[in-house]
Amino acid sequence: MRILIHSINFSPEMTGAGKYTGEMAEWLALRGHEVRVVSAPPHYPQWRIYSGYRSWRFSRDTYISAAGTAGTLDVFRCPAWIPSEPRGWKRILHLASFSVSSWPTMLIQVLWKPDVVLLVAPTLFCFPQVLGVALLTGATSWLHMQDFEVDAAFQLADFSSNQLNRWVRSLERFILLHFNRISSISARMIERLSAKGVDPARAVLFPNWVDTSVIYPMLASSPLRQELGIPAEATVVLYSGNMGKKQGLELLVDASRRLIERTDIRFVFCGDGSYRQTFVQMATKSENVIILPLQPTERLNDLLNLADIHVLPQVSGAADLVMPSKLTGMMASGRAIVATALPGTQLFGVLEGRGIVTPPGDVDAFVAALIQLADMPSLRRRIGDEARSYAISHLNRDLILHQFELSLLKACGVSSPDLQTVSCAIENGNQSVDEMVATSERVDEV
């Protein structure tokens, strides 16, 4: 197939929607499909343009397989305004700037005649060009919801106008009704789509994934422990990922201060994002805290294995608006997890028996869970093993992407092998995604 993806976030971004959209596009290309991506210059989660890219220039990258037998991947970069603090109307202008600049590039793709046009949210601003290209070419229109950006914006108090709320939600309903297929990353989010008026026949479960051969429990201690000077007997509590408003990171600062007398517990906070500076100013006042910058991809397994306990805080109500993408790596690492969520949410259900879940904002319960796990290594190992088993059986990258590929083929009316055949293909092995980056050509256009 010819698959056109429209997403403001894409590789080489290492977290969030960009990471998963990049891996999906590379995987589909290696399966033999022709894939084109229209995206912005990489900037997340630092909210700064990556080195080697420019915010106000169009460019195109072409990647081919080292073997020369797979499909192709073309990435078109369109200008976007990148605010240092993406909150409220600044975030709106950020999304709008990309939507406007990407119009010409998207319209050019009409001549390419894609079979599927896939929009990845959060980028709902780009729905007109996606639906327009699909209409002009007869392609299947597909919307993938990595999170519910409208719900999150109002629930996190970025906007408070009731009239604006009603208008935006009406627009959201219009958008949801006009795509041929809509997918999201958790069962609860699929249920939420139904509540928003989406016909269940058009809804597709497309969860995030993890490559369990790349993220795995290390037999020896992580080399990062020695590099950071953390004693072998200390219990490391690790937060790794985006540092934004919806993470509820203040809880971690409060917990570290409550446990300042426990010299056997160390906190490591690693990541970047719009809230990082504020968070660092609060956290550095605690002597039991180490703060690291976002680590390169090749060190991700070392970082995740640094943890004895992973922590995953969220503000109340966010657990079904945004299923944390970082959860997949945490579970694959085989370490214990303490998260905050309410009973009945998807996050609560996934971690039941595979972690400890406390109420959002409840510092006492959160600290009690950390103390319990710090004092009971056997409990840490047991729930870590359960999390690892879940990652292998439910978060397998190749199986999830094969299922998604089958859904794409079905939506386009293309005959395809059954899932049993697909599973055999997984066992027989596929090309590594790394082979897709063998050749890269950059063409800058005025």
> Is the pLDDT assigned to residue 99 strictly greater than 90?
yes
| 240 pLDDT higher than 70 | yes
Assign 46 a pLDDT band (cuts: 50, 70, 90): confident
8 A C-beta contact, residue 119 and residue 178: no
Residue 365 burial by Cβ neighbours in a 10 Å radius (0-12, 13-18, 19+): middle
More confident residue, 134 or 294: 134
Place of tokens 């729905």: 127
Q: With CA atoms as reference, report the closest residue to 275 among 243, 247, 249.
A: 243
- What pLDDT score was predicted for residue 71? 80
Structure tokens at 193: 């789509």
pLDDT of residue 271: 87
Residue 199's identity, in one-letter code, is D
Query: Quick one: pLDDT band at residue 148, thresholds 50, 70, 90?
Result: confident
Q: Which top CATH class is 2-209+396-445? A: alpha beta
Each domain of the chain, given as residue ranges in start order, spans: 2-209+396-445, 223-394
Q: Is residue 331's pLDDT more than 70?
A: yes
pLDDT above 70 (res 98):
yes
Comparing 284 with 307, which gets the higher pLDDT? 307
Mean pLDDT of the chain: 87
Domain 223-394 belongs to what architecture?
3-Layer(aba) Sandwich (3.40)
pLDDT of the residue at 444: 38
Whether 348 and 319 have beta carbons less than 8 Å apart is answered as yes
Q: According to the model, what pLDDT value does residue 429 have?
A: 45
Q: What is the pLDDT of residues 372-426, one digit of tens each?
A: 999 999 999 999 999 999 999 999 999 999 999 999 999 998 865 554 555 455 4
Task: Please give the Cα distance from 33 to 358 (Å, whole number).
Answer: 44
The yes-or-no verdict on residue 177 having pLDDT over 80 is yes
What pLDDT does 435 receive? Answer: 45
Residue of higher predicted confidence among 358 and 124: 358
